[in-house]
Amino acid sequence: MSDAAQVLVNSLITGSIYLLAGTGLTLTYGLSRFPNFAFAEFLTFGAYIGYLTMQYPTGCLAIALVTAALATGLLSLAAYFTVFRPLINRRAALIPLMIASIGLGYVIRYSLGECWSWAALSYQQVWQTFTIGDTHITLLWLYLILAATATSIVLHLLFVFTRIGKAIRATAANPELAQASGINTERVTLFVWFVGGALAGVAGVFRAADTQLYPMLGWDILLPVFASVVLGGIGSFYGLLIAAAILGIAENFGIVVLQALGLSTEYRMAVAFLVLILVLIFRPRGLGR
Amino acid sequence: MDPVYYIEDTLIFAGIFIILTLSLNLEYGFTGLGNFGKVAFFMAGAYTYALLAQLGVPFYLSLSAGALVAAAIGLIVTLPALRLREDYLAIVTLSFGEILRLIIKAQEGIAGGVHGIAVPAAFPFASLRLSALANIALIGTLLLGSFLIVEALAHSPYGRILRAIRDDDTAVQALGKNTFLFKASALALGSAIAGLAGGIFAQYVQFIDPYMFLPPVTFLVWIMLILGGSGNNWGALAGGLVVELINRGTRIAKDYLTLPVDPNNLQFILYGLLVIIILLYRPQGLLPEGPLKTPARKEAQKWLSSPPTA
């Protein structure tokens, strides 16, 4: 049964990435009411900033995470200021907003491809591996689980106890009413876009450190991240906590099933698609709403 | 390369992409449905055509089958999302484009997997010139056909309901129309036209593999429609032509200019900026949507402008 333990560990790792990335996406999605497809490229951007930091002799994962979070948070703010806010102010409909986000994604992705070429890079760091029974777990994975847990706790405390957290919930629920009650909704929106971008940067660094780094990094996990967000209920952080776990487990157990059936493990993306379709048929509002 | 052949090739590709843009115009321009996985239906048509043509099925049958398969897939995949908000449809279609490519890539048994599949040409002429001309004639005919169909639909009572659904879904429902059926039929028809484009693409290039059907194809079609003007078939035509010319122009420039950046990267960066700039400064596109051409329009105008009779 040690196989099952390893699959569970893998699920936890996958789920943690989806949780970190999905939190950033679901918060901005819930507040600004459109899916930002350029979010994939925010992940990739964070990963490359992390790579840049790790190139220096003093570079370590912690510094890479902090710089990637800050830089990607700023990128997200810049995207909001230059592209999305002007469009929203012009009362652009949902589909033009999505198209603009795809366009922005192309600008970022191909700029990264230009700077670092399209070949895969790696952080070139070997992580210490612990073995319990037959189950392997690396130090990086422990950091990732720690980061995901810490983020969840901090966000929970933020939403329940702080003024800004309550303002975010109020603005997401009803922007007009929130504004009428004296909440500076613009400032709330800026805060959420920054935090969303920062979380994307963190998720991107972990993904790149665990696998490889290439301009399609973010795009390649966008589908399961979107599936988690929709399953959790758009804008719902608590729903996402469960949804990311479900996606992580479904994908990793899906791989086992695929192997048993003699099918290509490339189909694991299809698992996320299946979850997405099932959610839309049976519970389109998601778990958390 | 022979310049005349290059022009012919450009015309053929422009034609294929304009047909795709027309199909997106039917879905998004008139009905307001955001199909972000256009490439999937193009791909479905191309592979259906390829597989049937290899079995020796006649050209027109393979082409129609491609259109039908694309329409069926379009219906099945989008049904769960059609009753929901537009963003769900966008996420589902976008994801489906990726999944379909993944399946064809992973299953070598179906159509060669990553290695691709050879497609018999519809016009087995020995001369390159002759077959290019035959292709231009074929694509021109199909382009004209789809243009006339989409244009006729757009100005029919059916098209009026589609536009009404786009502008106010709830109001149309309140008037007793089954908006779901209208949306589903528009999507099926749009997918069928995209499948048709896929079939002619496959027989023209004579070899297809999964890497020809990446998400940028969808994005290119969206740029064409948004630049040209969504909701206007002439706009779709103009947008398709302009973007295809930009595409070819930069490819030629690549051979003569030495740029400090990779032209392929530069091209996509510029496309991304272009679409953002159009959406910001000219969201209606080059040729904005005009009023409906309905026979009763003059009548209605007269009625509206006449003073009310007691």
**Global ipTM:** 0.90
Report the residue of chain A nearest B80, measured CA to CA: A281
Tokens of B13: 């590709």
Q: What's the confidence (pLDDT) of residue B309?
A: 58
User: Which residues of chain B are within 8 Å of residue A94 when distances are taken between CB atoms?
Assistant: 34, 85-87
Q: What's the confidence (pLDDT) of residue B129?
A: 80
User: Which residues of chain B are within 8 Å of residue A85 when distances are taken between CB atoms?
Assistant: none
Q: Which of A104, A108, A110, A259 to mutate to test the interface with B (most CBs of B within 10 A)?
A: A110
Q: What would the pLDDT profile of A96-120 be if each residue is shown by its tens digit?
A: 999 999 999 999 999 999 999 888 8
A1 confidence band (pLDDT: 50, 70, 90): very low
According to the 3-state scheme, what is the secondary structure of A142-164? HHHHHHHHHHHHHHHHHHHHCHH
Please tell me if residue A92 touches chain B, with a CB cutoff of 8 Å: yes
Of the candidates A242, A237, A268, the one whose C-alpha atom is nearest the C-alpha of residue A253 is: A268
Of the candidates A150, A188, A192, the one whose C-alpha atom is nearest the C-alpha of residue A24 is: A192
Mean pLDDT, range B249-269, rounded to an integer? 79
Please tell me if residue A276 touches chain B, with a CB cutoff of 8 Å: yes
CB pairs under 8 A between A and B: 123
Q: What would the pLDDT profile of A180-221 be if each residue is shown by its tens digit?
A: 998 999 999 999 999 999 999 999 999 999 999 999 999 999
Q: Do B96 and A266 touch (CB under 8 A)?
A: no
Mean pLDDT, range A67-94, rounded to an integer? 94
Nearest to A106 among B91, B261, B268 (CB): B268
Q: What's the confidence (pLDDT) of residue B184?
A: 94
Report the residue of chain A nearest B280, measured CA to CA: A87
Q: Do B98 and A94 touch (CB under 8 A)?
A: no
Q: Where are the domains of chain B?
A: 3-305
Q: What would the pLDDT profile of B177-197 be if each residue is shown by its tens digit?
A: 999 999 999 999 999 999 999
Question: Of A103-117, B68-82, B101-115, where does mean pLDDT reach its minimum?
Answer: B101-115
* Percent over 70 (pLDDT), chain A: 98
Any residues with CB less than 8 A from the CB of B230 and at least 6 apart, and which?
B25, B28, B29, B236, B285, B289
Determine the topology of domain B3-305 in CATH. Answer: ABC transporter involved in vitamin B12 uptake, BtuC (1.10.3470)
Q: DSSP string of chain B? A: --HHHHHHHHHHHHHHHHHHHHHHIIIIIIT----TTHHHHHHHHHHHHHHHHHTT--HHHHHHHHHHHHHHHHHHHHHHHHTS-HHHHHHHHHHHHHHHHHHHHH-HHHH-GGG-EE---SS--S-HHHHHHHHHHHHHHHHHHHHHHHHHHHTSHHHHHHHHHHH-HHHHHHTT--HHHHHHHHHHHHHHHHHHHHHHHHHHHSEE-GGGS-HHHHHHHHHHHHHH-TT-HHHHHHHHHHHHHHHHHHHHHHHH---SS-HHHHHHHHHHHHHHHHHHH-TT-SS-------TTHHHHHHHHHSPPP-
Any residues with CB less than 8 A from the CB of B266 and at least 6 apart, and which?
A110, A114, B250, B259
Q: What's the confidence (pLDDT) of residue B1?
A: 61
Length of chain B: 310
Indicate if the pLDDT at residue B26 is higher than 50. yes
Pairing of strands B207-208, B117-118: antiparallel
Q: What's the confidence (pLDDT) of residue B113?
A: 76
Nearest to B219 among A83, A106, A227 (CB): A106
For chain B, how big is the Rg over CA atoms in Å?
21
Q: What would the pLDDT profile of B121-167 be if each residue is shown by its tens digit?
A: 877 777 778 888 888 999 999 999 999 999 999 888 899 999 999 99
Q: What would the pLDDT profile of A206-260 be if each residue is shown by its tens digit?
A: 999 999 999 999 999 999 999 999 999 998 899 999 999 999 999 998 888 888 8
User: Which residues of chain A are within 8 Å of residue B88 when distances are taken between CB atoms?
Assistant: 230, 280, 284
